[in-house]
Amino acid sequence: MLITRHPSDCVELQQLVEPCGIAIRPYPVLRIEDSADKDGWHAVEQLAADSAGNPPWLVLASPRAPQRFVAACAERGHDALLRVPAAAVGASTATAAEKAGLGVELIGPGTGKGLARKLVDHLKRPTTIIFACGHDRRPELPKILAEAGHTVLPVEVYRMVATPSRELPPLGPSLDAVILTSPRAAGLYLDGVGGLPLPCPHWALGPTTGAAAAALGIDCRTPDEPTMQSLAEELCKN
């Protein structure tokens, strides 16, 4: 199965589907680059200087963010920020955060909306929330938190850029399915294969990606939940 992710992001899914005889073939239409968000870090530094009494929370909506946030904090001498409670969008992000040494106290259901609502229920008073994020991000999570009275400080720690078509791997033979992992990846996949989806079943990791794919003329199935575990279960059934 072809998946629109970098090989390093495919390890979990490959381990989950390997017992079913499924091989995952990465097709990394996007690649990651570190970001230097001067304005975002300035706001966080002001927080570090002024905060007292009510500690901030750290919110992580992607497994790509934790290690980059930790590295940026170390570079800037903000070790105290590594000890604030963290909320992760789902299990994969929580695992990445814990591996980076962060203290995860809340795990969401795998969507930004779900995490935001869970965090709103959890927090008992207005809180400042550091949102370690990518350049391209959906607005729902910070919007829900802000509407509930919390202050959200986005800090961009990475960005995804399109992989030049000449650097994409060959599609190879015997593809049984394609897995699309983000709305942007769906469009870049279509560009990479010549404008028409490959003649095989397509899966979208979540409903947002599924809707974006449908708008491009790609009919996708979606798992019950936008997680690798749920996707693996569906792939093994089919």
- What pLDDT is stored for residue 53 in this prediction? 62
Question: For residue 210, how far is the Cα from the chain centroid?
Answer: 16
**SS3 (DSSP) at 80:** helix
Which residue's entry shows tokens 């599609």? 171
Residue 236: CB atoms within 10 Å: 13
In the predicted model, residues of the chain with pLDDT beneath 70 are 48-53
Burial class of residue 43 (count of CB atoms within 10 Å of its CB; 0-12, 13-18, 19+)? middle
- What pLDDT is stored for residue 8 in this prediction? 84
Burial class of residue 199 (count of CB atoms within 10 Å of its CB; 0-12, 13-18, 19+)? exposed
**SS3 (DSSP) at 235:** helix
CATH class for the domain made up of 2-29+163-237: alpha beta
**SS3 (DSSP) at 128:** strand
- State the first-to-last Cα distance of the chain, in angstroms, to the nearest integer: 12
Fold: same for 2-29+163-237 and 34-161: yes
- At 168, list the tokens: 């994409």
d(CA 23, CA 173): 12
What does pTM read for this prediction?
0.80
**Domains of the chain, residue spans:** 2-29+163-237, 34-161
d(CA 35, CA 155): 9
Mean pLDDT of all residues belonging to the chain = 92
* CATH architecture under which domain 34-161 falls: 3-Layer(aba) Sandwich (3.40)
d(CA 117, CA 141): 8
Contact 16, 130 (CB under 8 A): no
Closest CA to 44 of 146, 156, 142, 138: 156
